[in-house]
Amino acid sequence: MFNQRISARLPVVLPFLLSLTYSLCATLAAAQNSSAQDASAPQQKIGYQKAENADQNKTLLLKDFHPVAMLHAAGHEVPRGKFYVIDVHNHVNDARGIDDHMDPKDVIKIMDDTNVKTVVILTGMWGDKLQRIVDEMVKPYPGRFMVFAEMDWSKIDDPNFSQEMIAQLDDAVARGARGLKILKDWGLGVRGKDGKLVTVDDPRMDPVWEECGRLGIPVSIHTSDPEAFFHPTDNTNERYEELIGHPDWSFADSQFPRKEELLAARDRVFARHPHTTFVSLHLANWPENLDYVSQMLDRNPNVMVEFGARQAELGRQPRRAREFFVRYQDRIMFGTDNGMEEAMYRNHFRWLETDDEYFEYWGYPEQGRWKIYGMKLPDEVLEKIYHKNAERMFAQFKGAAALKSSK
C-alpha cells in the first residue's frame, strides 16, 4: 500500500525535486564563479603616497570648482537689521547706469523689508542728469534717498577750473545734492592735456574741498583699489578671477602710480582741509591693512569710513576687524556698494550681528576663494554704524544759508 502511494505521487513530486536541484546547482556555480572573479580582480590598496599621475588628473577648471563645505556649524538668518539702516554707499538708479534701473517702488519694498531707512546714491553727476535722480528718487520719497554730485573732469585744463567746479557744486546742492562723490579715476584715469595723470592732491581741487566744508557736505572719495589690483594677474594673485573678468581694474602696469603713492596724496588732502568731512570709501581702500587705516584715522579726525564692497576683506579677519570696529565705532558707517537685493542686506546683517562661522560673503567667490566669519558687534556699536554716525555727519549740512551767503 505504501509503495503504491509513493508511486502515485511521483509524477507530482519529481519535477519539483528536479527544479529545486537545478536551482541549487546554479546558485552554487554562480557563487564559485564570483569567488573566482574576486580572486583574480586587482584589489584596491589603501596607501599613503600621492598617485603618480595626480597632477595630470587635475583638469577641473577653476570656474567649475564649487566645493560644498562639510563643516557642521550653526547658521542664523537675519531678515532685518536690528536697528534701522542708512546705506551710505549705493548706486541704485544713478546717473551713470552702474546697475540696472529698477522701479523705485521695488527699491522701497526691499528697503522696507530689510529695515533700510535711507539709501545714498553716490554717482549723481551734475546738471540735468542729477536733476533726473532728484525728480525720480529723492523728491517722491522724502527721507528715503539722498544723492551726491560729481566733478566734470573734462574741464580739468580750463583756466578757471576751480571756480567752474565750485559753481557746478553750488548748483548741484541747490538742486538737492547732499555730498560730493570722487571716483577712482581721480588719480588713476584723469589726465591733463600733457597726457600725465592728475594727482589726487592737485591744488586745483583745493577750493572745491574748502567749498564742501563751507556748505557742510561730505566728500565721499574712492582712491586706489584693492592691493591685489596693483599686482600682476597671475597664479599668485588672490583676486585672479575678478581681474580676469575686469582686466581694466588691473593697475599693475608701471604707467600707474603705486597704491601707497595714491593713498599718501589722498591723505595730504585730508590734512590740508581739516574743516571738510571726508568719507574714505571702502574702509580707506586698504582693509587688508587695518593698522594703516587706524593710523590714518588717528591723524585725521575729519575722516569717516564705510565698508562698501569690502565685506570679504574684513570678514576673513574677524577678530582684528571686530577690534577695529569697536575702537572706531564713531567713525564707521554702513555701506554696501553691491546693488539692491534683500539677500545682500541680510548677508551683511548676518556678518555684523552674528558669530556664525565660515559662510560666503556677498558675491562669493568673485573677490577671492575664502569664506568669512561674523563679528557679533555689541548693540551700541551696531546702532552707531547702522545709522547714528551717518545722521551726525549729514546734520552738518548748512545748505541754503551757505549758498545765499556766497552770492
Query: Domain residue spans in the chain?
Result: 81-399
Q: Calculate helix-pair angle for 259-272, 290-299, nearest 10 degrees.
A: 20
Of the CA atoms within 13 Å of residue 3, those in its CB half-sphere come to 0
What does the pLDDT read at residue 2?
Answer: 43
Task: Report whether pLDDT(28) > 60.
Answer: no
User: Quick check: 103 and 69 in contact, CB under 8 A?
Assistant: no
pLDDT at 10 over 70: no
- Give percent of the chain above pLDDT 70: 89
Report the pLDDT value the prediction gives residue 23, as an integer from 0 to 100.
57
Lowest-confidence region among 15-24, 276-285, 303-312, 387-396: 15-24
Q: Which parts of 197-301 fold into alpha helices (H)? A: 206-215, 240-245, 259-272, 281-284, 290-299
> How much is the average pLDDT of 139-155?
98
List, for residues 284-323, the tens digit of each pLDDT value.
999 999 999 999 999 999 999 999 999 999 999 999 999 9
CATH of 81-399, one of 3.20.20.140, 3.60.15.10, 3.90.79.10, 3.40.50.2300: 3.20.20.140
> Mean per-residue pLDDT for 62-87?
96
Asked if the model's pLDDT at residue 396 lies above 80, the reply is: yes
Q: Which of 5-19, 39-53, 366-380 has the highest mean pLDDT?
A: 366-380
Amino acid making up residue 333: M
The confidence score (pLDDT) of residue 44 equals 77
Q: Taking Cα atoms as reference points, which of 216, 202, 196, 184 lies closest to residue 337?
A: 184
What is the average per-residue pLDDT within 116-142?
98
Angle at 362 between CA 361 and CA 364, to 5 degrees: 70
What is the percentage of the chain residues whose pLDDT exceeds 90? 85
CA–CA dist 365, 211 (Å, integer): 41
What pLDDT score was predicted for residue 6?
A: 45
Q: What angle do CA 101, 106, 112 make, to 5 degrees?
A: 130
Give yes or no for residue 16 having a pLDDT over 80: no
pLDDT at 19 over 80: no
pLDDT, tens digit (0-9, with 9 covering 90-100), for 113-128: 999 999 999 999 999 9
User: How high does pLDDT run on average in the chain?
Assistant: 92
Q: How confident is the model at residue 43 (pLDDT cuts 50, 70, 90)?
A: confident
242 pLDDT above the threshold of 90: yes
pLDDT of residue 47: 87
Phi, psi of 145 (to 5 degrees): -135, 145
The answer on pLDDT for 263 being more than 90 is yes
The pLDDT of 62-82, averaged and rounded, is 95
